[in-house]
Amino acid sequence: MVQNKKGRQNIDPHDMAEKMYKYFDADGDGTVSPDEIISAFQNIGKNWNTDDIRSFLETIDADGNGTIEKDEFIAFITKSLSQADGGH
């Protein structure tokens, strides 16, 4: 099926999630560690404490291994965006 998105600049959630993930994954090893999350948030000027960041991590970390893999992150972002866009 081909979807025609003419006339509208739609942000592709998947594309956006990939870009965000690259930003978070500072050393590019394909996982985002708690340290990387903390420095990413500090870089954008968000002063979250470590407890906030830990619960953020736990929300995204679907398999509970303590790091965020790309598919976990993309699933989280696309899900949040589709929920935000939920009301018809």
With the C-alpha atoms ordered 67, 68, 69, 71, is the resulting torsion angle positive or negative? Answer: positive
Q: State the Cα–Cα distance between residues 10 and 42, nearest whole angstrom.
A: 29
Please identify, using beta-carbon distances, which residue of 12 and 43 lies nearer to Ca ion: 43
Question: Please, which of residues 12-51 interact with Ca ion by CB under 5 A?
Answer: 25, 27, 29
Q: Tell me the closest approach of the beta carbon of residue 21 to Ca ion, in angstroms.
A: 10
Q: Tell me the closest approach of the beta carbon of residue 53 to Ca ion, in angstroms.
A: 15
28 φ/ψ angles, rounded to the nearest 5 degrees: 65, 25
Q: Tell me the closest approach of the beta carbon of residue 34 to Ca ion, in angstroms.
A: 10
Task: Candidates 10-18, 39-47, 49-57, 59-67: pick the segment binding Ca ion (CB under 5 A).
Answer: 59-67
Q: Does 71 bind Ca ion (CB under 5 A)?
A: no
Query: Cα dist. 31→70, 78, 85 in Å?
Result: 7, 18, 28
